[in-house]
Structure 1
Amino acid sequence: MTQTVSVAVPRKGRPLEAVLERFATVAGTHSHSHSVADDISSTLRYEKSVTKGNTTDDRTVYERLTEYSDLSDPNRPEYTLLRDGRDGLPRRIVFDSVTLSLDGVDVQLVGREEPFRALRTHEFALGFDSADLVLEEVVSLEPDGVGSLGDINARIDPMESDVRVVTGLGDTVYHTLMAKPEILPAGATLDRSFVTDYEGPLCISPRYERLVEAVLGTDAIEDVEFRYPEDESEEEAAIANTGLGVYLTMTGSTAREHGLVLGDHLFPSETVLMENDAERESAVDRVKSLLSEVSPETAIRV
């Protein structure tokens, strides 16, 4: 009997799409698993558009859910409903579970709101989540900052967590330094050393306070005063008002529209494959190896 390895994954959004893309790539272009992974991504993109009001559908959310989730067919994915945070708190269809075959191993993807925490509590041996959460919860704060995914595991206290990062999926946006040109002395480079010598306000999103402390290091922020966007202000606009800040960028176009100079990419905000060392076994190691070998350049530990 084939052993099934359960893997915790996000229920929606860019991280889940990155996970599905990795599974589709590993399974192969013409495989059933590749087709199912593509179907899940397409369904969730459509449902997101409906939830945001960009697409209309005459069917109720329950009718669509019934069509997507046929529990009599074990080869089809299952979905569930969550309340979305948008006005009116609409019900949104999100991913629940599916079983895919990878090189003869059955892998059950199970949707979780917080996959990283599900690994921490030993519910799963493998899972995918944002690298940001690892920094926010278990990476120790030290004088020097964390600059890459490869730095993370050395900063996790083994008494604090059995979870370790295996590899990144490459769906990268960056926590980036940005500043108004007026605060930069002539010839200055907007990098970590600039922050170390800087005294004054630094604008960040409040949910990233511990992450920024871990990334920059406690020495660099010793004379920094964190400021946060007020009301519903865009982060880039708030940083422009403050003078210096850290926020996520992909192209940096919004930051430039607010007159900001982009500096160092401090840390990649990326979906990562994680393992719980205490739950390792041969089937788990096989799945981990399959999911890691696609991008050996991003592998951290195997």
Structure 2
Amino acid sequence: MTTPVPIAVPRKGRPLEAVLERVASVVGADAESLADDVSSTLRYEKAVTKGGVEESRGPYERLAAYSSPADPYAPEYTLLRDDRDGMPRRIVFDSVIVDVGDVPVHLVGREEPFRALRTHEFALGFDSADLVLEEVVDLRPSGVAGLDDVNTRIDPQESDVRVVTGLSDTVYHTLMATPELLPAGTDLDRSFVENYEGDLCISPRYERLVTAVLGTDATRDVSFTYPARDADEEEAAIAETGIGVYLTVTGSTAREHGLVLGEHLFPSETVLMANAAEASTAIDRVRDRLVREEAESVLSV
């Protein structure tokens, strides 16, 4: 067998499902079955970890049932410690080989695919666009509005990794505020934040991301605050603060807390990334196959 092209992928959750769906859309029926198998297995294991399903078998028994190490084209799984209370063991994706055209591709699970690309362990990988903003996008007076802005703000001395395309599994970093904070007829958008002074509630660790998205001018007079560690819902903390930024799809929970939904600031979606310093003919062929013509956003590398 030709040496497979390795691609770093997330180990679990929505990002991994988005990757498997993209691969299935390119490869066809066999990969669709693989995607369904992996996704259903990991959803079941998530339910076991969270206590929603009782399972009489131990984790090693389930690992043996799920994996077929002798067949590289069958998915393999592994055990990790989950960060929930008690740090339970959780079964997550490990690897599988699929043929993309005439090139075998080895999907390899990583906790931090983006960082694996940055350290040149992989030439291709999938991860959240959020991590690019958190780590390598330059902070400038104006903010980043979408994926089209990302590559132009990566210092070539800082990283060889570039975003190739988004997978459209989009949720948005969205502005939200209480009605009392908004004067009549005022739009809750970037310009509102530029004129705002005070606390802005965000998720912990997202200071750099929110600063990159809004711009340093808009955040100059803002003080970031965070939900309490034991908070059940971030929207409740934002309602208490008065204004904040949080990920949302429908915004129903925000409305339940009396919040007004404002501008969608940045799409939090899974992206295909490439390390330009590790390019080769085979890698370029795989990358081009994974970028479908109908993809909504294709960025230059």
TM over 0.5: yes
DSSP-derived class of the 1:264 partner: strand
DSSP-derived class of the 2:206 partner: helix
DSSP-derived class of the 1:150 partner: helix
Which AA in structure 1 matches 2:191? S
Match of 1:266 in 2: 265
Matches within 5 A, 1:113-152: 113-152=111-150
Match of 2:95 in 1: 97
Match of 1:10 in 2: 10
DSSP-derived class of the 2:205 partner: helix
What is the Cα deviation at residue 33 of structure 1? 2.6
Tell me, which stretches of 5 or more residues in structure 2 are unaligned?
A: none
DSSP-derived class of the 2:43 partner: helix
Match of 1:36 in 2: 34
Aligned partners of 2:110 and 2:230: how far apart in 1?
Answer: 28
Q: Which moved more, 1:65-74 or 1:124-133?
A: 65-74
Match of 1:244 in 2: 243
What is the Cα deviation at residue 2 of structure 1? 2.6
Q: Report if the CA contact (8 A) 1:26-1:294 is conserved.
A: no
CA displacement, residues 38-65 of structure 1 (integer Å, 9 cap, x when unaligned): 2111111111111111112211111000
DSSP-derived class of the 2:138 partner: coil
Aligned partners of 2:271 and 2:73: how far apart in 1?
Answer: 26
Match of 1:19 in 2: 19
What is the Cα deviation at residue 35 of structure 1? 1.8
Q: Report if the CA contact (8 A) 2:128-2:271 is conserved.
A: yes
| TM-score normalised by length of structure 1 | 0.97
Aligned partners of 2:182 and 2:241: how far apart in 1?
Answer: 13
Q: Report if the CA contact (8 A) 1:3-1:283 is conserved.
A: no
Q: Report if the CA contact (8 A) 2:167-2:295 is conserved.
A: no
Relative to 1, partners in 2 of residues 1:88 and 1:206: Cα closer, same or farther, differing over 3 Å?
A: closer
Which AA in structure 1 matches 2:53? T
Which AA in structure 2 matches 1:282? T
Aligned partners of 1:57 and 1:243: how far apart in 2?
Answer: 43
| TM-score normalised by length of structure 2 | 0.97
Matches within 5 A, 1:145-184: 145-184=143-182
CA displacement, residues 201-243 of structure 1 (integer Å, 9 cap, x when unaligned): 1111121110000000000011111111123222111110111
Identity over aligned pairs, percent: 71
Aligned partners of 2:263 and 2:19: how far apart in 1?
Answer: 27
State the number of aligned residues.
Answer: 300
Tell me, which stretches of 5 or more residues in structure 1 are unaligned?
A: none
Aligned structure 1 segments of 4 or more residues deviating by more than 6 angstroms:
none
Aligned partners of 2:78 and 2:38: how far apart in 1?
Answer: 13
Q: Which of 178, 183, 186 is matched with 1:185 structurally? A: 183
Q: Which moved more, 1:291-300 or 1:43-52?
A: 291-300
Q: Report if the CA contact (8 A) 2:168-2:296 is conserved.
A: no
Q: Which moved more, 1:1-10 or 1:164-173?
A: 1-10
What is the Cα deviation at residue 301 of structure 1? 2.1
RMSD: 1.1
